[in-house]
Structure 1
Amino acid sequence: MKAFRCGDVVPGCARTFTGTENEILAEVAQHARHDHGLAEVPDALVTQVRSAMVPA
Structure 2
Amino acid sequence: MKQFACGDVVAGCPRTFTAVDSDGILTEVNGHARSDHRLADVPAELVGQVLLAIREIA
Give the TM-score band, short-chain normalised: over 0.9
AA aligned to 1:5 is A
Deviations 1:5-55 (A, max 9, x none): 000000000000011100100000000000000001000000000000011
- Paired residue total: 56
Deviating above 6 A after TM superposition, structure 1's stretches of 4 or more consecutive aligned residues are: none
What are structure 2's unaligned runs of at least 5 residues? none
- TM-score, L = length of structure 2: 0.94
Q: Could you tell me how far apart the structure 2 residues matched to 1:18 and 1:27 are?
A: 9
Q: How large is the Cα RMSD of the aligned pairs?
A: 0.5
Identity of aligned residues (%): 57
What are structure 1's unaligned runs of at least 5 residues? none
